[in-house]
């Protein structure tokens, strides 16, 4: 079972708390902006995600959900 974080870009404020708690440090700020004009978080290495959910739990905007999927 693998998985990755999905960011609701319109909720994200770009605070990067998600990366601060991510054991893999795979959350980063993208180059695009949401409708509020804020650069939002993106997962920069989905392959490394362990689906620990720390990012989703810490996010003050509840902007992250983790999806899980079976490979192949
Ligand atoms: S913790 Fe939430 S609001 Fe902050 S950058 Fe990450 S996804 Fe965006
Ligand atoms: S679920 Fe865990 S490993 Fe995956 S991006 Fe979030 S904090 Fe990082």
Q: Model pTM?
A: 0.95
Q: Ligand 2 pocket, 9 CB below 6 A?
A: no
Structural domain range at position 29: 2-69
Contacts by 56-63, CB closer than 8 A, 24 or more apart: 56/5, 56/18, 57/21, 58/17, 58/18, 58/20, 58/21, 59/17, 59/18, 60/13, 60/15, 60/17, 61/8, 61/11, 61/12, 61/13, 62/11, 63/7, 63/8, 63/9, 63/11, 63/12, 63/13
**Ligand 2 center–CA 57 separation, angstroms:** 10
User: pLDDT tens digits, residue range 35-48?
Assistant: 999 999 999 999 99
Domain count of the fold of the chain: 1
Name the residue of 6, 8, 16 whose CB sits within 8 Å of the most ligand 1 atoms, as the mutation to test its pocket: 16
Average pLDDT, the chain: 96
Does ligand 2 have an atom closer than 6 angstroms to the CB of 12? no
CB atoms within 10 A of CB 40: 19
pLDDT digits (tens, 9 = 90+) for 12-33: 999 999 999 999 999 999 999 9
Q: What is the domain-level CATH number for residue 22? A: 3.30.70.20
């Amino acid at each position: 079972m693998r998985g990755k974080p999905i960011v609701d870009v319109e909720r994200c404020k770009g605070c990067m708390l998600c990366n601060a708690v991510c054991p893999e440090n795979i959350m980063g700020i993208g180059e695009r902006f949401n409708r509020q004009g804020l650069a939002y978080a993106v997962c920069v290495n989905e392959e490394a995600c362990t689906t620990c959910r720390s990012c989703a739990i810490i996010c003050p905007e509840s902007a992250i959900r983790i999806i899980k999927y079976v490979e192949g």
